Amino acid sequence: MSEGLTWTVRDADKLTQAEIYGEVLSQLGEQNPKIVGLSADLAQSTKIGTFAERFPDRFFNVGIAEQNLFGMAAGLALSGLIPFASTFAVFTSMRAAEQVRTDICYQNLNVKIIATHAGVSFGQAGTTHHCTEDISIIRSFANMTVIVPADGIETANAVRACVDYPGPVYIRIGRGFEPPLYEREDYGYQIGKAIQLNDGTDITLICCGITVLQALEASKILKDQDGLSVRVLNMHTIKPIDREAIIKAVEETRRIITFEEHNIYGGLGSAVAEVIVEAGKGCAFEKVGIPDCYSEVGYPEDLYTHYKLDTDGIIEKVREVMGKEFEEDEDWEDEV
């Protein structure tokens, strides 16, 4: 059903990160008449408006009523359609959490959720519009697949992949002005498979969303300045998480730091920690994110710097962890 890019990279350069997925969804809509879209007065902000313009009869703006948004999406899915429902992450994961969990996940419906303005990407809007809890909440819903794409092209890949992927899918993105990571779509994106952007043996940085690019930049600087061999993993799928990639990182690098635009409790870091601990293998581990507090107001770039999620912050953290003493292999009985 799904096809590759039908526009050139040149066109993609002209679109904001979020507009890329809107364009892809419109293309998918042309190929698959079952795709419909919904939003709660945020069609323009979430960029699902691109689909709305192309297919006005297949798009439903329900107004500022998120519970109804997801309840209706469930109903549309029950009637045999593939609804893409989009609003801000804070509303998808909290205002309408019960609809997402009970109407959509419990019934295992084909609703694809595009949660935008996640993390602290809505900077100046402040805590009421930030969402540093959604990965934690949403991954606790059985049947849900949780994806945090690194940039606009990856979002487009996720959207394309989720059309035929069975069951509910939650795709979490920012405002759409993030710097691009990928230049082309054909890097082998697959739901559930982490992408190694840089191999390394000293330490692994497991990241999702905007931190992926920052970690990649950091790894280059750390190589040049500190002679460190830093592995960078784009863990775009939080659930089902790529356990194999994590175990490999444990065995081959023995140090892991996770970075996410999310509370340190319950998100990517916690998910990675679960795998490490349950594997019974020794590893130095830390998670970096919003330190269990409500975020400041500010431009997102300033907030990323403040919460050590930018390149400098990541470099600082890596140096800190590398400088720590921890038990080396010989001291561990890590064959379980």
Contacts to another protein by CB under 8 A: 36, 57-58, 60, 62-63, 65, 67-68, 70-81, 83, 98-99, 102-103, 106-108
* 73 versus 210: smaller Cβ distance to another protein: 73
Q: 6: part of which helix (H) or strand (E)?
A: none
Least distance between another protein and beta carbon 96 (Å): 9
Indicate the residue among 65 and 247 with the shorter CB distance to another protein. 65
User: Which burial class, exposed, middle or buried, applies to 264 when counting CB atoms under 10 A from its CB (0-12, 13-18, 19+)?
Assistant: buried
Min dist. Cβ of residue 72 to another protein (A)? 4
Nearer to another protein, 71 or 313 (CB): 71
In the bound state with another protein, the residue whose beta carbon lies nearer, of 40 and 257, is: 40
Please tell me whether residue 76 adopts helix, strand or coil conformation.
helix
- Do residues 256 and 284 touch, judged by C-beta distance below 8 A? yes
99 vs 258, beta carbon nearer another protein: 99
Nearest to 87, CA basis, from 38, 124, 143? 38
183 burial level (CB within 10 Å; 0-12, 13-18, 19+): exposed
The neighbouring-strand residues paired with 231 are 204
Closest approach of another protein to the CB of residue 221, in Å? 50
Nearer to another protein, 143 or 229 (CB): 143
User: Least distance in Å: CB of 167 to another protein?
Assistant: 12
Q: Closest separation between CB of residue 160 and another protein, Å?
A: 22
The Cα–Cα gap between 283 and 251 comes to 8
Amino acid identity of 87? T
Query: Helix, strand, or coil here: 150?
Result: coil
The residue among 37 and 282 lying less far from another protein, judged by its C-beta, is 37
328, containing H or E segment: none
Burial 130-156 (b: 16+ CB within 10 A, else e): bbbbbbbbbbebeebbbbbbbbbbbbb
Nearest distance in Å: CB 269, another protein: 31
Report, in Å, the least distance between residue 155 CB and another protein: 25
Q: How far is the CB of 223 from another protein (least distance, A)?
A: 51
CA distances 293 to 172, 219, 262, 276, Å, are: 20, 28, 10, 25
Q: What's the first-to-final CA gap in the chain, in angstroms?
A: 44
CB of 111 to another protein, least distance (A): 10
For residues 82 and 210, which CB has a smaller minimum distance to another protein in the complex?
Answer: 82
Closer to another protein by CB, 80 or 227: give it.
80
Q: Report CA 67 to chain centroid distance, whole Å.
A: 23
List C-alpha distances in Å: 144 to 102, 141, 205: 11, 6, 25
